[in-house]
Amino acid sequence: MNRTKNELADYAWNPVTGCLKDCRYCYARKSAIRFASDWRRNLAERPKVQQVGEKLFELDTPWKTKSQRFLNSPTGFLPTMHKYRFDWPQKVKVGSSIMVCTDGDLFGPWVPEEWILQVFAAADEAPQHQYIFLTQYPERYKQLANHEKLPQNKNFWYGSTATVRESSVWANEHYNAFVAIEPLLGPFEGDVTKAFQKLKWVIIGAETGRNVGKVIPKAEWIKDILTSADATDTPVFMRSSMESVVGAENMRREKPQPLLQRVPSDVQKERLWEYCAVCGKYRPMKEMYALLLRRKRGDSPERVAYMCPECYEQFSRDNFEKGKDDEV
């Protein structure tokens, strides 16, 4: 799992790749096929790749070519589960934001429910992270929620991709639901903007690339979305593709508070956090003062405790004269 250039998250995690919907503006499809080598030939390599359904495949291990090169998508853009990637989030110890399945659609109607549940279970093994899901098939969220199979985890974010006002958007106040209006291809009003009161986040992006007939968002489309979002105090994040449309001075780059935080794991806290000896606050050692004890002159100092900046300042005022050394 590598750091991503995606503006929404720190990392991209792709335990499931591929999609059967042929969107003309899909960069993931173009990239997957470009770097898949001869993916049709790869499909014939058994048991290296296992076919588990019509146009559905599974890989137990990374795909290495004869030239010792690894392929991220050896099956092209056909839906594929990469089982060896399940533990990747556990290898990142500091809590980060992770985009899940950026190289496909985890909730497409062709994806077995078992795959989805396995991804949820793998994410649960590394609860320090914020997981961002995004789909063009939000009705799958509703189906899973109705059967109590959609986790209500506070660190799970469920997004619906919408491009026109007829797009389906899933909004539920009991979940971290959001909408990604990208690319913005027309005006938005009605049911979509009414749903903002149940959404935790709104993302807006313009169509990129050099496609013939590329749509440039109109000012009134953007204004309507912003008005609806601001009426419900919903954070708005504009993709960099919007800068040429609205201007740098009007760019909105807001995120929900949990997605701004980097949370250390319990293992990291054990090694890098400590309690203040005075007030008892638990915080990173690097933010505190180390209290050193030297038993006699010439001995190396021994670290015995930590003190937070607030308690240290109070201790200094109470015990040291201005201008004198702080060494005790």
pTM: 0.77
Cα distance between residue 228 and residue 165, in whole Å: 14
The token pair that represents 219 in the structure block: 């000012």
Strand partners, 16: 81
Q: List the one residue out of 22, 64, 57 whose CA is nearest residue 43.
A: 57
- Give the pLDDT confidence score for residue 205 in this predicted structure: 94
Query: Is the separation of the CB atoms in 74 and 59 below 8 Å?
Result: yes
Q: How far is the C-alpha of 160 from the C-alpha of 181, rounded, in Å?
A: 8
- Check residue 37 and give its pLDDT: 63
pLDDT at 225 over 70: yes
- Phi/psi for 249 (5° steps) reads -70, -15
The per-residue pLDDT for range 174-205, each reduced to its tens digit, is 999 999 999 899 998 765 667 788 999 999 99
The pLDDT confidence band at residue 274, using thresholds 50, 70 and 90, is very high
pLDDT in tens, 51-84: 888 889 898 888 776 666 777 777 777 899 999 9
Q: What are phi and psi of 183, to 5 degrees?
A: -75, 145
Round to whole Å and give the CA distance between 41 and 45: 7
Q: How are the residues of the chain apportioned to helix, strand and coil, as percentages rounded to the nearest 5? A: 30, 25, 50
Question: Residue 229 carries which side chain, given as an amino acid letter?
Answer: A
Please determine, for residue 94, whether its predicted confidence score (pLDDT) is greater than 90. Answer: no
Which pLDDT does position 24 carry in this prediction?
67
In the prediction, which pLDDT does 277 show? 94
The two structure tokens encoding residue 40: 């049709």
User: Is a pLDDT exceeding 90 seen at residue 90?
Assistant: yes
Residue 140 clears pLDDT 70, i.e. is over it: yes
The answer to whether residue 322 scores a pLDDT higher than 60 is no
* Mean pLDDT in residue range 25-37: 66
What pLDDT was estimated at residue 289?
Answer: 94
Question: Please, what is the average pLDDT of the chain?
Answer: 86
For residues 301-315, average pLDDT: 92
Residue 107's pLDDT band, with cuts at 50, 70 and 90, is very high
Q: 80, 59 in Cβ contact below 8 A?
A: yes
Structure confidence by residue, pLDDT tens digits, 112-126: 999 999 999 999 999
pLDDT band at 21 (very low <50, low <70, confident <90, very high): confident
Provide the pLDDT confidence category of residue 43 given band limits of 50, 70 and 90.
low
Task: Report d(CA 182, CA 122) in Å as an integer.
Answer: 28
β-strand 130-135 against 156-162: which pairing, if any? parallel
**Confidence label for 270 from pLDDT (cuts 50, 70 and 90):** confident
Containing 243, the helix (H) or strand (E) segment is helix 243-246
Q: Tell me, what's the pLDDT at 328?
A: 45
**pLDDT above 80: residue 39:** no
Q: Predicted confidence band at 47 (pLDDT cuts at 50, 70, 90)?
A: low
pLDDT band at 212 (very low <50, low <70, confident <90, very high): low
| The dihedral sign for the CA sequence 28, 33, 36, 41 | positive
Task: Read off the pLDDT of each residue in 205-220 and give the average, rounded to a whole number.
Answer: 83
